[in-house]
Structure 1
Amino acid sequence: MTAHLDPKKTALLSLHMVNDIASPDGKFGPMFSEQVVARHVIEKSKALLAYGRNQGFTIVHVAVRFQPEHTDLVTNSPLLTIVKDLDALVEGTWGADFVEDLYPIDGESIVTHQRVGAFQDSSLNQVLQQAGIEHIVLFGVVTNNIVEHTARNGVDYGYYVTVVEDCCSAPTLDIHNASIENMRLVADIKSLAEIQA
């Protein structure tokens, strides 16, 4: 694994840090927010974003969003069925918007998708290729879905992958830890402090 993060070749990917998923008042709040709060994920992610911006990393914000009435949603999994049942992540609503403390700034890319992983049927790979990216650094909610799925796909697309462990969370700490252990064979696992160092 490459320990040094070359700013010209590194992208920081904020994954699903939208209100319906990462906020206590979001549609998925009862499922995900306890660990977001307990692990201080928003605060740590804010510090990570600030670091990435200061270093000159390419910043990409990935959001899962659907059209009203979920006309573009394929409910072929329990998770996606729950999205429809909760009427969650609808384009143009507060729930589908980014958490205030992690909002994109001018010049940062926003990638929207409708599948479990960020690469599938999205512009993510094109955005990264156009920026000359070789190494992607991931954080977000939830660890065992968007983060792990994107880490594995990222490796398949040829990127070096780093996951910032304490800027991620899952429904429970046990699930988070199991997912992190699953990713150790495909990604470099770092803490926020290790990245900043």
Structure 2
Amino acid sequence: MNIMLPKKTALIIIDVQNAIDHPEWSKYGSRNNLKAEENMSLLLSKWRQSGRKIIHVKHESKEPNSTYRSGDIGCEFKECVSPIEGELIIIKHVNSAFIGTDLEAILRESNISHLVVFGVITNNSVETTVRMAGNLGFNTHLVEDATFTFAKPDYTGKIRTADEVHTMSLANLENEYCKVVCTDQVVKIIEDEYSGDF
């Protein structure tokens, strides 16, 4: 699949915080995409080299028992995506990065029409944000191998593996709200710019 990432494309990193390593998340079974953090780090490094806009979305839960409680170590960014000076941080309190934040206004003011998104968890904040991005008219790309989720029960109580949950979420999004892509595709576009092949 050919994808286009103009210079006015923003990278949106969703909820990649220490909280996601808490055992509570794995109570129904292990996560998928064990190399996701490696892919996240690679994508962020390449994106920085490209000079495109980077937005880190940080979840600060108002729920007292959340692993994402503000002020706790779990609320801090994971090292693989730790922001550097000049990179924007958006604080959210609900699933979607567009609700109760200035995210849409920031993108509009920057004349950004294309987004690349990755983070956690696939079927929660990632899916919710991508759905809204698509509905708001942004040309959105979700990097599926830099995104992950966990096993969980379906509506009938049957435990579904993380891969099942992940791929069903992607199926909900693909071609309706976004294009699902992989790390290698995004990296190749940026590296082709360096070589003059873009």
Same fold (TM over 0.5): yes
Q: Within the alignment, does 1:56 sit opposite 2:51 as a pair?
A: yes
The question of whether the paired residues in 1 share the 8 Å contact of 2:123 and 2:165 is answered with yes
Structure 1 pair 31/149, CA: closer, same or farther in 2 (3 Å)?
farther
Structure 1 pair 107/32, CA: closer, same or farther in 2 (3 Å)?
farther
- Partner in structure 2 of residue 12 of structure 1: 11
Residues in 1 aligned to 2:102 and 2:180: alpha-carbon distance in whole angstroms: 25
Segment drifting more, 126-135 vs 160-169:
126-135
Segment drifting more, 126-135 vs 108-117:
126-135
User: What is the identity, as a one-letter code, of the residue corresponding to 1:100?
Assistant: E
User: What is the identity, as a one-letter code, of the residue corresponding to 2:113?
Assistant: E
Cα offset, 1:40, TM superposition: 1.0
Q: Give the aligned length.
A: 176
| Residues 159-174 of structure 1 mapped to structure 2, 5 A cutoff | 159-171=138-150, 172-174=162-164
Aligned partner of 2:99 among 107, 120, 130: 120
User: What is the identity, as a one-letter code, of the residue corresponding to 2:9?
Assistant: T
The question of whether the paired residues in 2 share the 8 Å contact of 1:119 and 1:153 is answered with yes
The question of whether the paired residues in 2 share the 8 Å contact of 1:11 and 1:59 is answered with yes
Q: Once the two structures are aligned, what percentage of the paired residues are identical?
A: 28
Q: Within the alignment, does 1:182 sit opposite 2:177 as a pair?
A: no
Cα offset, 1:141, TM superposition: 0.8
Structure 1 pair 129/149, CA: closer, same or farther in 2 (3 Å)?
same
- Partner in structure 1 of residue 85 of structure 2: 106
Segment drifting more, 95-104 vs 127-136:
127-136
- Partner in structure 2 of residue 77 of structure 1: none
In structure 1, the gaps of 5 or more residues are: 71-82
Residues in 1 aligned to 2:142 and 2:95: alpha-carbon distance in whole angstroms: 17
Alignment partner of 1:35: what SS? coil
Segment drifting more, 157-166 vs 125-134:
125-134
| Cα shift readout 1:126-182 (whole Å, capped 9, x = no counterpart) | 221222211111101101111111111001212100000100111111100111111
Q: Within the alignment, does 1:191 sit opposite 2:191 as a pair?
A: no
How high is the TM-score relative to the length of structure 2? 0.82
Cα offset, 1:3, TM superposition: 2.1
The question of whether the paired residues in 2 share the 8 Å contact of 1:27 and 1:95 is answered with no
Q: Which protein is richer in helix relative to its size?
A: 1
Cα offset, 1:4, TM superposition: 1.6
Aligned partner of 2:112 among 111, 114, 133: 133
Q: Alignment RMSD, CA only?
A: 2.1
Residues in 2 aligned to 1:45 and 1:33: alpha-carbon distance in whole angstroms: 22
Cα offset, 1:30, TM superposition: 2.8
Cα offset, 1:49, TM superposition: 0.6
Cα offset, 1:2, TM superposition: 8.2
In structure 2, the gaps of 5 or more residues are: 151-161, 189-198
How high is the TM-score relative to the length of structure 1? 0.82
Alignment partner of 1:89: what SS? coil
The question of whether the paired residues in 1 share the 8 Å contact of 2:97 and 2:103 is answered with yes
Residues in 2 aligned to 1:45 and 1:88: alpha-carbon distance in whole angstroms: 21
Alignment partner of 2:111: what SS? coil
Cα offset, 1:52, TM superposition: 1.0
